[in-house]
Amino acid sequence: MIRIRQIKLPINHNKEDIENKILNKLKINKQELKGFKINKKSIDARKDINYVYEIDAEIKNESKILNKKNPDIIKTPNEKYEFKIIGKEKMKYKPVIIGSGPAGLFAAYMLAKNGYKPIIIERGEDIDNRVKTVNIFWKTGKLNPNSNVQFGEGGAGTFSDGKLNTTVKDKDYRGKEILRIFHKCGAPEEILYINKPHVGTDLLKDIIKNLRNEIINYGGTFKYNSYFNDLYIKENTITSIKVNEEIINTDTLILATGHSARETFKMLLNKGLKMTAKPFAIGVRIQHPQKLIDSNQYGKNYKNLPKASYKLTYKASNGRGVYSFCMCPGGFVINSSSEENMIAINGMSNNSRNEENANSAIVVTISPEDFGTNPLDGIKFQRNLEKLTYQEGKGNIPVQLFKDFISNSLSTSFNTIKPIFKGKYALANLNNIFPKYISESLKEGILYFDKKIPGFANDDAILAAIESRTSSPVKIERDENLVSNIKGIYPCGEGAGYAGGIMSAAMDGIKIAEAIAKIYKPF
């Protein structure tokens, strides 16, 4: 096959238009084109809005076309992922994976598919029961500390926009393989080729169940409502773990705990696992009408295009970075707390992204210099702010209009923008939560972002707190073989400090599975 780049078409086009463009670009007739498929699809909104395609086509006389040496026409490269098993050692026990978020699930998938029979330990519930528990929490405020937006099958990303893009370099095509597996498990085909693919929280639920069933069919085992609370070490090598009251022997442990497993981090540190405090970011969620974002990004034709997103950055006068994070077009702001008497929030969208508001985290960079260099000081910092947030909202998500945040005054009502939340909320003053350097950076940043997207600093824009789980506050050290200082333990994914989102976490899970396959042969 040959790959054709830079095929541009107007907004309203069909499959026949794509085919005609291929014929025109290759200067061939219809009989010479055997078939084609889309490899990439994106929107160019810089001037006249167009869709831009990269197409893989099967044609007659392929060599004749390639000999013309057009930089936009090349031979389709082999982009197939390959899982290599070169290990010779025999495993005494099955590998154990702590956590069934993206990192844990894709490590499990690769290991199970290749004969390693992993055991997956999940602190929370299976996806169906977890969804029921989370909905009860949003309606009543009754929290299950072990099964919530942060903990449970699918991980924290289950209740999100379900973004499947990443900036991680992918020369080994792990990302393409992950998208292929997602599609196999029920995601729309378009995720295989569109720029910035997403699936939405509504589709993710069934995709996760299908992925679980694939793992089970390949020989994996799941244990839900199973709390990993101890590990046992001999001669600096793991020998077993304690889950609830059960002892499980293992010589291979993958730590895919996620970024909110605070008590697990404490236990691991006490057991001698090397970890360090790392930078992360703290801030708010801001809500605008989605049509404001669409019209700014696309112009008057926005109604015929997918919901628009944005990515914004700014350096505040105090030197802090301020940036948008996890932007959710047409979505909800949700209560994503995992501990009693604390509030943490996140954003979430369904696949259709059809809610009236766009929301995004606007966050400020902080570092160990702000909170301390001991490994768990970042967790302490997060908890203190989450407690203040809970108090300010009287147990609910505290909410404030931007004009009142600027003037440091309590909001008393909403105006032109309708609030869209999952979980109870209350009008409050967010200035009472943040250290001054964070609140001042947020104000500066939002006012600057108004220059990029007019209306961003609208008086009636709705702010909510606190966005505190942007990334893990710790990093668990691992060597060039991806092993911790304790032999047999593999820190993995976002919680261990090696990923930031569904795709990068899943890719890291696959890397860990590969590392195990370099040492051990399958059962």
Structural domain that includes position 350: 279-467
What are the residues whose beta carbons fall under 8 Å from the beta carbon of 305, sequence distance 6 or more?
Answer: 11, 43, 49, 294, 298
250 and 338 part of one domain: no
Query: Confidence class of residue 47 from pLDDT cuts 50, 70 and 90?
Result: confident
11 and 38 part of one domain: yes
129 and 151 part of one domain: yes
- Model pTM? 0.95
Number of folded domains that form the chain: 3
The pLDDT value recorded for residue 31 is 92
Residue 44 within any structural domain of the chain: yes
Residue 81 within any structural domain of the chain: no
Task: Name residue, tokens 């609208």.
Answer: 458
Residue 331 within any structural domain of the chain: yes
Residue at which a domain ends, from 467, 483, 503: 467
256 and 374 part of one domain: no
Residue 361 within any structural domain of the chain: yes
Q: Residue 85 to residues 111, 272, 298, 393, 522: CA-CA distances in angstroms? A: 10, 31, 48, 53, 8
The pLDDT value recorded for residue 66 is 87
Residue at which a domain ends, from 11, 43, 75: 75
Query: Model confidence over 317-341: pLDDT tens digits?
Result: 999 999 999 999 999 999 999 999 9
Per DSSP bridges, beta strands 119-121 and 96-98 are parallel
Residue at which a domain ends, from 46, 75, 104: 75
Query: Model confidence over 137-170: pLDDT tens digits?
Result: 999 999 999 999 999 999 999 999 999 988 888 9
283 and 418 part of one domain: yes
Average of pLDDT values for 171-189?
A: 96
186 and 171 part of one domain: yes
CATH code for the domain of 29: 3.30.70.2700
Residue 87 half-sphere exposure toward CB, CA atoms < 13 A: 20
Query: Confidence class of residue 281 from pLDDT cuts 50, 70 and 90?
Result: very high
297 and 264 part of one domain: no
Identify any residues that bridge with 322 across adjacent strands, giving them in sequence order. Answer: 314, 364
Residue 161 within any structural domain of the chain: yes
Please tell me the distance from the alpha carbon of residue 359 to that of residue 161, in angstroms, as a whole number: 11
Please tell me the distance from the alpha carbon of residue 449 to that of residue 322, in angstroms, as a whole number: 10
What are the residues whose beta carbons fall under 8 Å from the beta carbon of 74, sequence distance 6 or more?
Answer: 2, 3, 5, 66
Residue 85 within any structural domain of the chain: no
Residue 488 within any structural domain of the chain: yes
226 and 295 part of one domain: no
397 and 479 part of one domain: no
CB 153 within 8 A of CB 208: yes
490 and 463 part of one domain: no
CB 142 within 8 A of CB 131: no
310 and 358 part of one domain: yes
Average of pLDDT values for 417-442?
A: 98
Residue 242 within any structural domain of the chain: yes
DSSP for residue 346 = E
CB 187 within 8 A of CB 203: yes
Please tell me the distance from the alpha carbon of residue 23 to that of residue 18, in angstroms, as a whole number: 9
Please tell me the distance from the alpha carbon of residue 182 to that of residue 282, in angstroms, as a whole number: 31
173 and 242 part of one domain: yes
CATH code for the domain of 496: 3.50.50.60
Tokens encoding 485: 């200082």
